[in-house]
Structure 1
Amino acid sequence: MTTEDLEHFASERQAPAGRIAAPPVAPTRTRGRLRTILVWIAVLAALGLGARFLWTRNIEVATPVAQLKKSDRGGPQPVGVATIGRRDVHVILNALGTVTPLATVTVVSQISGVLQDVGFVEGQKVKKGDFLAQIDDRPYRAQKAQYEGQLARDQGFLAQAKADEERYQRLLKQNSIASQTADNQKFVVKQYEGTVAADQALVDAQALNIAYARITSPVDGRVGLRLVDPGNYVTAGTASSSSSSAGIVVVTQLQPISVLYSIPEDSLRRVAPQLLAGKTLETDVYDRTNTRLLAKGETRAIDNQVDATTGMVKLRAYFDNKDNTLFPNQFVNVRLLANTIPQALAAPISGIQHGAPGDYAWVVSPEGKVSVQKVKLGQTDGDIVQILEGLNEGDRIVVDGSDRLREGGEARVVMTDGVSAPVEGDAKASEAKASGEERRKKRKDGAAPPTTN
């Protein structure tokens, strides 16, 4: 007898005589919990399969080609094609540019004095010659009066010297005076003439200072923020104020306005001959995100040298900016129309593949056979690319559904140049529907009661 048997026997001996050992309880609770878990797993699996079915169905409905994939498994591959044709291809150069005013003038005082008045509102549009500021001109008027008095005195001395010269000439003819005395009087007249001319220059200088005291706008444009307040003493060429920098205000010309941008020196051959011949090139500028057209203008000027450090050359485009969409120092994207290739053979970029053969396209024959055709590409214009070699006008190339094609395989065209082709089943259904409507109409006409006269 083993140790386990002995222990079992002892436990039975120790049990009370009047009690009978209860049978083991069945695990009904555990079985119910397991059944619940299995039910939830089945429900989740069904939901997952249903979601996948709906998702796959939505994808198949997305395009005409994908819509037919399910029903066409094992048959010709449904494809969308585009027809090779001729069109004008634009040669576009893209660049980054900065809006630059044609004139930015810092208005400063040309004389020293107290700033008495400011005749503009910050941000105001001004015309050339409009009043901007007034400097105290009273000191210059006083100096002008002083110089005018000095001029009058010296003019009197000059008149007296001239009269003496005439008298000396008459006496010289009579041999009443020495010739040296008459000659000296001529030089005295010259001296007074120089003094009078200097006095006149001093008077004119003060008149000019008085004119400078009234400051006007040098160009048409918009004024910025005021740099100095009335009451400050300004010196010629600067504004002396603890809260301002040099100048009284900055006037910026906004209409017209220009954009400075740079292109690589390799692109000079496309634009330099035309610009140097006096032609202008159409230029468009877009916002920072390169999505919104800001303005249309033309490029007229090119720099006279290439930047040796960057290998770029600067160009300037001009814009009317009548709606003020361009703002000084604004960053823009520039698209320069360098040239236009008329009636070039072109194809959609989506129909050009890239792989081991190089650039190629899947060509669909009239019989529905597909073949690989190597191509040589030219200029790109948006979603169109120029075809130099490999394709002919009228050829049909695959633009959608090329992932399952093979050389010499069959394809069924379901879309041509973006227009869906009628499906055979749909055509039959439409024909049956039309026939049914015609039969119902005939039955209705036959059942109608006859008309009485």
Structure 2
Amino acid sequence: MHKKKKSVVAITALVALIAIGTWFVTRPKTTKVSAPVAVPVQVINVVKKDVPRYVTGIGSVLSLQSVVVRPQVDGILTRLLVKEGQQVKTGDLLATIDDRSIRAALEQAKAQLSQSQAQLDVAQVDLKRYKLLTVDNSISRQQYDQQQALVNQLKATVLGNQASINASQVQLSYTQIRSPVTGRVGIRNVDEGNFLRVSDATGLFSVTQIDPVSVEFSLPQQMLPTLHDLLKAPSPAKVNAYLGEGANGTLLGEGELTLIDNQVAATTGTIRAKATFDNASEKLWPGQLVTVRIQTAIDRDALKVPPQVVQRGIDQHFVYRVKGDKVEVVPVKVLYQDSDLTLINGVNANDVLVSDGQSRLKNGAHIEVVKAEAVDTLAASADAASGGSK
């Protein structure tokens, strides 16, 4: 009996030892608390400065004056005195037409004038004599009246002859084709020796003014009040023309807003406007399509950031502001935005904001700045952020 009791105790102890061993083997291990992983980001400082606002549109370059040079009398083209592409001034002789028949008609008209003038002189002398003879009734009153009528008739003939001379002189002037405008000669359509007619539609060539030029462009009708304000401003509104995408393209010229059309295009809801450009460098060419950029306003002491800094939430915009090695979500209001910058309020000048890497961030997330923009150094940005939060 005593031996049996010892066996039970031994078995119980063995079971207890096995249970304790099993518990040590299967017990949950204590997990170590690891530090949160820092999110790599890029940052930039908020800049406070005066920022101009712009509006852009597509425009077409137009010549202020473009004339197709056509003959005004029929005749053979005897000389061409200019070359294609040559710059000419108003009044410069461009070409001549055979003038021999017109000169002959002019000489004939002059001869007729001389003949009529001689007849008039004789008739006027006779009229004076007849007037004296009527005093003592040496001739009848009828003879005197007939002589007076003859004088009047000859005066009319003289005036007609003079008019013929004037007409011939005008026709003669048309045989010398002069430039009606200052500009550049276009491609020639005829050669010397061709017979020109007034009815020819093509003309000899065109002369197009290159400097200055205008640019016609269209903007949404919502811009009409702004355009009116720009026209009424003391100084003309500046307009820049670019080849390519806005300010990123090649600047072709700087001009001034000069005209707003008198009605809105009902089909497109746009308003046409014009700007005039000095074009001494001839970078703007008639018919060319350009991008027009107009300064509409200036925001004084505006807070400027790159567009990628501002994030869009469900019902508002926000930014991630750096505080030490963490970020906080700050709601902001977007005042103006274009492809190069965004103006906001809700932050302070020189605040350090995240400019890249926002997709992995949340409020209070740890960050590691891997690259800072050239606005400030990373150390200065971090010091400024830490100092502002203390």
326-335 or 194-203: bigger deviation: 326-335
Q: 1:90, 1:381 within 8 Å by CA — same for their partners in 2?
A: no
Match for residue 264 of structure 1? 220
SS in 2 for 1:306: strand
Match for residue 309 of structure 2? 351
Pairwise CA distance, 1:289: 5.5
Q: 2:332, 2:347 within 8 Å by CA — same for their partners in 1?
A: yes
Pairwise CA distance, 1:223: 1.1
Q: Say if 1:289 and 1:338 are closer, same or farther in 2 by CA, change over 3 A.
A: closer
Q: TM-score, normalised to structure 2's length?
A: 0.80
Query: 1:316-331 residue pairs with structure 2 within 5 A?
Result: 316-331=274-289
What RMSD, in angstroms, separates the aligned Cα atoms of the two structures? 2.5
Pairwise CA distance, 1:73: 7.6
Pairwise CA distance, 1:151: 0.7
Q: Say if 1:278 and 1:247 are closer, same or farther in 2 by CA, change over 3 A.
A: farther
Q: 1:303, 1:315 within 8 Å by CA — same for their partners in 2?
A: yes
Q: Does 1:379 align with 2:341?
A: no
Q: 1:89, 1:380 within 8 Å by CA — same for their partners in 2?
A: no
Count of residue pairs brought into register by the alignment:
344
Match for residue 15 of structure 2? none
Match for residue 284 of structure 1? 240
Pairwise CA distance, 1:95: 0.8
Query: 1:5-404 residue pairs with structure 2 within 5 A?
Result: 74-236=36-198, 238-239=199-200, 246-276=202-232, 279-288=235-244, 291-365=249-323, 367-387=324-344, 389-404=345-360
Q: 2:227, 2:260 within 8 Å by CA — same for their partners in 1?
A: no
368-377 or 256-265: bigger deviation: 368-377
Q: Say if 1:288 and 1:422 are closer, same or farther in 2 by CA, change over 3 A.
A: closer
Letter in 2 for 1:390: G
Partner Cα distance (2:125, 2:230) in 1 = 72
173-182 or 337-346: bigger deviation: 173-182
Pairwise CA distance, 1:174: 2.6
SS in 1 for 2:354: strand
Partner Cα distance (2:232, 2:159) in 1 = 51
Pairwise CA distance, 1:125: 2.1
Letter in 2 for 1:357: D
Partner Cα distance (2:39, 2:203) in 1 = 75
Q: 2:41, 2:370 within 8 Å by CA — same for their partners in 1?
A: yes
Gap regions ≥5 residues in structure 1:
1-71, 240-244, 424-453
Pairwise CA distance, 1:165: 2.1
SS in 2 for 1:123: coil
Asked which structure has the greater RCO (Cα within 8 Å, sep 6+), the reply is: 2
Letter in 2 for 1:232: N
Gap regions ≥5 residues in structure 2:
1-33, 381-390
Q: What fraction of aligned residue pairs are identical, expressed as a percent?
A: 37
Pairwise CA distance, 1:374: 2.2
Q: TM-score, normalised to structure 1's length?
A: 0.70
Pairwise CA distance, 1:171: 2.2
SS in 2 for 1:336: strand
Pairwise CA distance, 1:335: 1.3
SS in 2 for 1:391: coil
Q: 1:414, 1:420 within 8 Å by CA — same for their partners in 2?
A: no
Letter in 1 for 2:357: G
